[in-house]
Structure 1
Amino acid sequence: MKIGILAIGDEVVSGKTLNSNATFLASTLEANQFEVTRHLAVRDIETEILQALHFLYETANVVITIGGLGPTLDDLTKDVCAKYFDEEMVLYPEVVDKIKTYYQHTHKSMPENNIKQAYFIPGSIIVENKHGTAPGMIYEKAGKVIINLPGPPNELEPMVNEYVLPYLDKLGFHKIYKKQYRLMNIGESDAEMHIKDFYNLFPHIKIASYTGVGFVDYRIITTDPNYKEEFDKCVQAFEERMKENIVGDGSEPLQKTIIDLCREKGLTLAVAESCTGGMITSSIVDISGSSDILIEGVVTYHNDSKMARLGVKEELLEKYGAVSPEVALAMATGVRLTSKADIGISTTGIAGPTGGTKEKPVGLVYSAIDFQGETFVFKNIFRGDRNKVRQRATLQILFELYKVITKTF
């Protein structure tokens, strides 16, 4: 099954409204193994909508439209779709009653122009809208399916989950085969070099990458069931080749995975931060349930704080400096012992743009882990502005913590 997405509305094309619906639709459909071929956005103009439908059906069996189901004159979606399929629109009285009931709940009378929202192509499936007055429409003819959905996300999203996905499942078309991986501690270029032979070994499998701050996502896909065996071999080879860098599929934040692992193993965590300034702790607290494993997070920015709060020795700071593997380790051990946590982690570095030297340049970050007395220290030099350095340092220590936990148990 191939699906095209068509957003309709002057406000979308002009940039006044962010087309978040297309992002939601595409990600939801692909997560459910449906292939999205194209996205388009057009204005509320009949000829443009018709041209877009012709274009999308060149590669798609199903087109999902977004917007244009309101009661005003420029809400043209269903009328234009009826014209595309050479059909007339008819009134569905039961839908009129539902719209009237919706208004009664708000202690208002239904405006006369809302009757427009109760017209559909005969034989259509009406998609109930529990949060607004614009029902959706599903219509099939000559092997083509049109699905009309309203524009407000709070209306569209539940309609997709409750009605559209089950309908698509029943159509019986084969789905795509897809696996997604999130890689960390490796750049996109290096990752590509690790698997460059895959493109010849598995010629019928699409391998695509996407890079973000501190991670690279890979998707392995085939839309042809005849290549399922080749797909399985590619997946197996990828997981073996990249096992040191895989941290999941990217569907949830790494810190949630860490929280779940710690909860499962009965481990607690404490964090001591210098250059990251609370960013690590904040990212963990962003996740519901973090209180199950997080004892505390402290920002010991000044040397006096490192000594007073974590017990870092003054002579250690004088001999090696605050940005050093020795101090990073002392911070991790100090926060673990003072908090009585199972794990202590730390960061200390030079986020910039000032403060760097030849020996200790901007972007240099030392991080450390004390896992029940077993210690690990890491050195990285990150590129980017001050915030990027802090973000990358945060992601890096989370990656290292994930690897330590998974290798220990």
Structure 2
Amino acid sequence: MRIELLTIGDELLLGDTINGNAAWMGQRLAEHGVEVTRSVVVGDELDVIIEAVHEALGRAEAVITTGGLGPTYDDLTRDALAKAAGVPLRRDPTLEKRLRDRVEAARRPLAPMALRMADVPEGASLLGNTVGSAPGLRVELPGGVVYALPGVPFEMRTIMTEVVIPELIEDSGLHEVARRTLRTAGVWESVIATSLAEVEALDQIKLAYLPSSGEVKIRITATGPDAEQRLAAAEDRARALLGDAVYGAGDDTLDRAVHRLLAERGRTVAVAESLTGGLIGAELTAMPGSSATYAGGVVTYATELKHRLLGVPDDLLREHGAVHPDVAAAMAAGVRDRLGASYGLAVTGVAGPESQDGRRVGTVYISVAGPEDEPKVFNPRLPVPGVGGEIRGVIRRMTVVHALELLRRAILGLDVEHAAREAEEDREEKG
């Protein structure tokens, strides 16, 4: 069964409200193996809504709409579905009583327009709303079925969970769906997709690649009566192909993976941060019990503090400035030694929007100093996305991810330059 989503409201179309409903519905439907083929946003115009519904049913078997079921005159979904079906709106006496009872219980006066929420296209089925006033609607049209849900997020989610998703699963026969998400960091999406080509080709297996700043999640979905067995085989093969690029699965996060590795070995880490301004320390202290593995951190934005607090040689800073691989290495060793940690992790670079000391925006040096090793330095050569303030946020977030991945690889004794080579090869391939 193919599903299209239609979210309705001028506030969504004009960007005044973020369309979180579509994102939530897409995620939940995908989790149950229901295929969403398109998501469309339209404003509060009767003819536009009708046209969008007809177009969607020309491509899909079902459409789920959100919004436009409230009491005001710009809530037009009921009217649009009635007109699309060629039927009148009828006031449902049970719904009207329920609305009157809710208003009376709240000790508020009843606004006459509130009773619009009791108007239902003739022949439509009601989808019970146990947490709000406006019911959902199920309307049969010549091209398929429309599920109309309120735009209030917790009301929409309740009806989706209690009514719509179970019905779609029943209608599509998707009783057997299994899903697993693998998590990677520091490797480009195209590299991962190329590596997993043979998994992508397996019967009743679907892969989705979900990139974010410096990370890529791989969602593996298996369908069919033996979905769990298919999923296990696909996951095993994906792990074998990706090797040590996989740091976790499911709800695991990179900081938790690092903490787990440190705790297993009785080790600690201290962090020296320049361009990230404490973001790595915040990430490493987000989970309860992090004090067992996180010794502390030093934020040294000022060049002079890198010398005074971390022992970075003054002549090195004068000659090369603060953004240099040797400076990153000295910061990592300095914070390790001065805070008495097993590992020192340091970052320095240019987050923008202007260049610094002749270094372009996106130049980042990350260093990790192990218990007995000389500091290793990693230059991820980050892309420069967006403009203005957008640059700083993305570069800083990507630096946090790359730094934690470098630490993870160092703890495991893996090649810390793996991700750098992968990224460089990918860029060269794209020209």
Which letter maps to 1:147? Y
1:290, distance to aligned residue in structure 2 (A):
7.2
Report the Cα distance in structure 1 between the residues aligned to 2:361 and 2:70, rounded to whole angstroms. Answer: 55
- Report the CA distance shift for 1:84/1:226 in structure 2 as closer, same or farther (over 3 A): farther
- Report the CA distance shift for 1:378/1:94 in structure 2 as closer, same or farther (over 3 A): farther
- Deviation track 1:165-206 (CA, whole Å, cap 9, x = no partner) reads 45545556216665544433223444444445666x548755
- Deviation track 1:25-66 (CA, whole Å, cap 9, x = no partner) reads 112221333221221233444443333333323443432111
Q: Secondary structure at the match of 1:107?
A: coil
Report the Cα distance in structure 2 between the residues aligned to 1:116 and 1:323, rounded to whole angstroms. Answer: 64
Give runs of aligned pairs for residues 65-214 of structure 1, distance below 5 A: 65-85=65-85, 89-104=89-104, 106-120=106-120, 124-130=125-131, 132-138=132-138, 144-169=144-169, 171=171, 173-174=173-174, 179-195=180-196, 202=202, 207=207, 209=209, 211-214=211-214
Greater shift in the superposed pair: 217-226 or 367-376: 217-226
Give runs of aligned pairs for residues 306-385 of structure 1, distance below 5 A: 306-312=306-312, 323=323, 325-351=325-351, 353-356=354-357, 363-373=362-372, 377-380=376-379, 381-384=381-384
1:72, distance to aligned residue in structure 2 (A):
2.7
Report the Cα distance in structure 1 between the residues aligned to 2:160 and 2:256, rounded to whole angstroms. Answer: 26
Contact 1:323 1:350 in 2 (8 A): yes
Residue 403 of structure 1 aligns with which residue? Answer: 409
Contact 2:124 2:139 in 1 (8 A): yes
Which letter maps to 2:404? L
Contact 2:68 2:74 in 1 (8 A): yes
Report the Cα distance in structure 2 between the residues aligned to 1:168 and 1:260, rounded to whole angstroms. Answer: 40
Report the Cα distance in structure 1 between the residues aligned to 2:152 and 2:87, rounded to whole angstroms. Answer: 27
Q: Give percent identity, aligned residues only.
A: 31
1:117, distance to aligned residue in structure 2 (A):
1.0
1:347, distance to aligned residue in structure 2 (A):
1.4
Report the Cα distance in structure 2 between the residues aligned to 1:160 and 1:203, rounded to whole angstroms. Answer: 29
**Unaligned 5+ runs, structure 1:** none
Report the Cα distance in structure 2 between the residues aligned to 1:172 and 1:264, rounded to whole angstroms. Answer: 46
- Report the CA distance shift for 1:153/1:370 in structure 2 as closer, same or farther (over 3 A): same
- Report the CA distance shift for 1:193/1:99 in structure 2 as closer, same or farther (over 3 A): same
Q: Secondary structure at the match of 1:56?
A: helix
Q: Secondary structure at the match of 1:244?
A: helix
Contact 1:34 1:176 in 2 (8 A): no
1:135, distance to aligned residue in structure 2 (A):
2.5
Residue 391 of structure 1 aligns with which residue? Answer: 397
Report the Cα distance in structure 2 between the residues aligned to 1:348 and 1:10, rounded to whole angstroms. Answer: 44
Give runs of aligned pairs for residues 288-303 of structure 1, distance below 5 A: 289=288, 292=291, 294-303=294-303
Number of residues of Structure 1 aligned to a counterpart in Structure 2 = 403
Residue 422 of structure 2 aligns with which residue? Answer: none
Q: Secondary structure at the match of 2:113?
A: helix
- Report the CA distance shift for 1:203/1:135 in structure 2 as closer, same or farther (over 3 A): closer
- Report the CA distance shift for 1:349/1:42 in structure 2 as closer, same or farther (over 3 A): closer
1:389, distance to aligned residue in structure 2 (A):
4.1
1:299, distance to aligned residue in structure 2 (A):
0.9
- Report the CA distance shift for 1:159/1:334 in structure 2 as closer, same or farther (over 3 A): farther
Report the Cα distance in structure 2 between the residues aligned to 1:77 and 1:31, rounded to whole angstroms. Answer: 27
Residue 31 of structure 1 aligns with which residue? Answer: 31
Q: Secondary structure at the match of 2:245?
A: coil
| CA RMSD of superposed structures (Å) | 4.2
- Report the CA distance shift for 1:266/1:153 in structure 2 as closer, same or farther (over 3 A): farther
Report the Cα distance in structure 2 between the residues aligned to 1:169 and 1:324, rounded to whole angstroms. Answer: 56
**Unaligned 5+ runs, structure 2:** 386-390, 415-431
Q: Secondary structure at the match of 1:242?
A: helix
1:75, distance to aligned residue in structure 2 (A):
2.4
TM-score, normalised on structure 1? 0.77
1:259, distance to aligned residue in structure 2 (A):
4.9
- Report the CA distance shift for 1:290/1:393 in structure 2 as closer, same or farther (over 3 A): farther
- Report the CA distance shift for 1:17/1:300 in structure 2 as closer, same or farther (over 3 A): closer
Residue 274 of structure 1 aligns with which residue? Answer: 274
1:378, distance to aligned residue in structure 2 (A):
2.8
TM-score, normalised on structure 2? 0.74
Report the Cα distance in structure 1 between the residues aligned to 2:13 and 2:263, rounded to whole angstroms. Answer: 46
Greater shift in the superposed pair: 103-112 or 220-229: 220-229
